[in-house]
Structure 1
């Protein structure tokens, strides 16, 4: 049998494995979709309402002066005013550009390291504990060294983002590959999958659910590293969320300071919702959950 025919048979054989989505589930109608969106949204809205009530209660208790710790009745109008200004959107654009570039670099580094560690056992013995150790290090520890290497520049911020996020991404990919079912590996071996094709058609798809968890954790480290970097590494007073936070602190503008803290929290929640959606989609695709 020709080689191309053998490869086609292997791919068709993989289609019969659990890597393919489970069939027979009816498409959800608009009403069911709406119920699903509401079921996912109302707990978050309830949590926001509880936080606002608790926040206002603390302010009413007189724990701190309202000039230092203003309530939502003063912070929210400032927040709504900020999001209508072009300076705010420029700050968001600069920060998110740094976040996505840094995370993309960390993703590339983490995938290379994760694949190498999972493939070569001596390498895992050599640097496996080092990867875990890097995950536990606070990102702010790296900034003095990063500024010594790169000066006051975006390269210093990117350096720390990569060091903060890449170990989590590499660990997630390695764990995902480790937990690929042995029966799938044996089936792939019988069908003649080797090298890149084995990873592309078998191992990487099977490892995706756990890899997404590593990506989510990696993003959390990247986002925290970026916020710390923008507060410490002020690049020619370039507008960014971190720079706006620093300016509000220097001016003792508590309303604006808390407004940008809420913005940082909101961006983190939006990204978390995206990763949760991706995780649920993958688990549903592989038949792990409904």
Structure 2
């Protein structure tokens, strides 16, 4: 017993426990952690930040060149004598955004885009999937689509006015046509790129036709479908503005054409910039929806 007690280590010789950080050192540690997290965030998002910075620089250069050409009334084959400067457009934008009528024009255009584009997506995506799966349906429908697809939106305006009882419905119809064909063609292309080995494997595992559509065809076609949605949104805005300029009484296209008729050059530029911003926001929303629907693509 005494021998065992002699083998026990002396408590005085044991190392003292580590002292907890004092209040004086904790802010320094917290700052170091924050800096480390910030540096890691910058490393992860370096490409996105670089792209955003380059985009801002290019926009700033574009506005500076625009200001330089319009202030000096440059004329070298292309005439900038009547083009409003960025300062004039900004001043007019401040006045327009305080006018409820300008907001009504934007709302009407956005509503028409929402109706026409949503209807085109609801019709074109299932139709494209079915045409890509069943050859007999593709042989029946595809020639009709190829004949009507090259017809521009402006050429449809008189026919749309005759077909639909109101101008509102005719404008939505033209917007529908503008976005329908890009979505349909890209959905067909997506179905053509599906690996047949995956289809055979799903059927060997006992998957029925509905399951093959849901688990194989649709996920494999989603990248092309969202490409078609993005392209279709751009064409929908082009078609909408053309229809509003010819037969509309409200909308940002009507606002731009009315400004031209009244020789209000600043309003013309304001309408064009507003169309660009609205189109950019619409395309960004579709890309964001695509990332949510295809998380495997975002992971890469």
Task: Give the stretch that moved more between structures: 269-278 or 177-186.
Answer: 269-278
Question: How many pairs align?
Answer: 258
CA distance in 2, matches of 1:42, 1:276: 20
Higher RCO structure, 1 or 2 (CA under 8 Å, sep 6+):
1
Residues 1:273 and 2:273 are matched in the alignment: no
Shift of 1:34: 5.4
TM-score by length of 2: 0.77
The answer for unaligned runs of 5 or more in structure 1 is 1-27
CA RMSD after TM alignment: 2.5
For the 8 Å contact 2:125–2:187, the answer to whether it is kept is yes
Cross-structure match for 1:217: 231
Paired residues for 1:1-290 under 5 Å: 30-32=41-43, 35=46, 37-59=48-70, 60-63=72-75, 64=79, 66=81, 68-234=82-248, 237=249, 239-279=250-290, 285-286=296-297, 290=300
For the 8 Å contact 1:170–1:214, the answer to whether it is kept is yes
Shift of 1:279: 4.9
Structure number with greater Rg is 2
For the 8 Å contact 1:134–1:163, the answer to whether it is kept is no
User: 1:32/1:98 Cα in 2 relative to 1: closer, same or farther (>3 Å)?
Assistant: farther
The answer for unaligned runs of 5 or more in structure 2 is 1-38
Shift of 1:263: 0.5
TM-score by length of 1: 0.79
User: 1:37/1:281 Cα in 2 relative to 1: closer, same or farther (>3 Å)?
Assistant: farther
